[in-house]
Structure formats: C-alpha cells, structure tokens
Structure 1
Amino acid sequence: MCEHCGAHNHAAEQTVVLKVDGMTCNHCKMSVEKALYTVNGVKMAAVNLAEGLATVLYDPNLATVEQMKAAVEKAGYEVVGVQ
C-alpha cells in the first residue's frame, strides 16, 4: 500500500498455477478453491477441473506457494506441480 495515498500496490501481486491431482467433480473444484482462499494474501483462486489446474493471484508479501500447497493438501488433494 502506498504510504502517501493509501492505494494498494497491485504490481506486487503474482500469479501461480498449481497442478492438482485428485479432483473428479465440481465439489472437488469448489473444495480446492475454498482451501486456497483460506490462505491470507490469496486474492483470486480459479480451478480448471478438466485440466486439473488451480490459478491463484496472490500477494507474495502475505502468502507463499508452500502455504497454498499445504492448504490444498489439507483439503485432501495433492499438488504435483507448480508453474
């Protein structure tokens, strides 16, 4: 956030794509998205069920890829790759 005007610095946001195994239905998709949103700093999470990919927009000052992976795995799925 800008110390002068209070505006958010969106340039700090990053995107990561996680390859997730174990998703078979729309409920799985929603469970993975919900798990990702529990990580502080995740701004957007969108899962492509057909491709098995979760695209995440996040603030790297608040969230790490390891935290996202842990959240997905806690929900019962396996992260098998990071792009």
Structure 2
Amino acid sequence: MTDQKTSGSCCGGGSCGSGTTADVQDIGVTTVYKVSGMTCGHCESSVSQEISALGGVTAVQAVAKTGEVTVTSATPLDEEAVRAAVDEAGYELVSHA
C-alpha cells in the first residue's frame, strides 16, 4: 500500500473539520467520522477499503469534499480500530461522535 502521509494525501491537498453524528438504526449503528486529507475519489476508496475490513462493518461511504466517512456496523466500533484503519489508508481520523 502506498504511504500517502508524506504528502498529506494522494493528491497533495487536504481538508479538515469537526463535528460528527451517530445513530442507532434497524440496520445497526451508523457513525459519521471526520477524516482529514481526503481530496479525491481515490482517497475515498482507500479509506473505505481499510474501514470495510474491520469486523462488523456493513457499509462505508467516504466523501472527500466534506471529509466525512459514514460507517454502518452491526455494533459500535472501537475508536482505536477505526483510527488505525484510517491511518493505514494514509489519512487522519479527526473526530467522531
């Protein structure tokens, strides 16, 4: 896997923000995380792929424009596991609800 940390992101740009939400729905737990450094579809794909590999994750939607990553899982995820997955993709988990 390419280490994108050295340039801030795979595309050289970056975004950062705060504020998250979490909802319990019939399909499990949905949590919105803020991730810094995503700038394009490749960034979204890298983050989504790493988080999708976590146990219990049923859906991931990353949006580079807002820096938001919406994760649906069977049960609440361990924050450190999500942080490690985002880090592995080459980005930084800023916050979550």
TM-score by structure 1 length? Answer: 0.77
For residue 58 of structure 1, the aligned residue among 66, 73, 78 is 73
Runs of 4+ that moved beyond 4 A: none
| Structure 1, unpaired ranges of 5+ | 1-9
Number of residues of Structure 1 aligned to a counterpart in Structure 2: 73
The whole-number CA distance in structure 1 between the counterparts of 2:75 and 2:81 is 11
Greater Rg by CA: 1
- Counterpart of 1:77? 91
The whole-number CA distance in structure 2 between the counterparts of 1:45 and 1:69 is 14
- Are the aligned partners of 1:12 and 1:60 in contact in 2 as well (CA < 8 Å)? no
The whole-number CA distance in structure 2 between the counterparts of 1:13 and 1:66 is 19
Coordinate RMSD, CA, aligned: 1.8
| Structure 2, unpaired ranges of 5+ | 1-24
TM-score by structure 2 length? Answer: 0.67
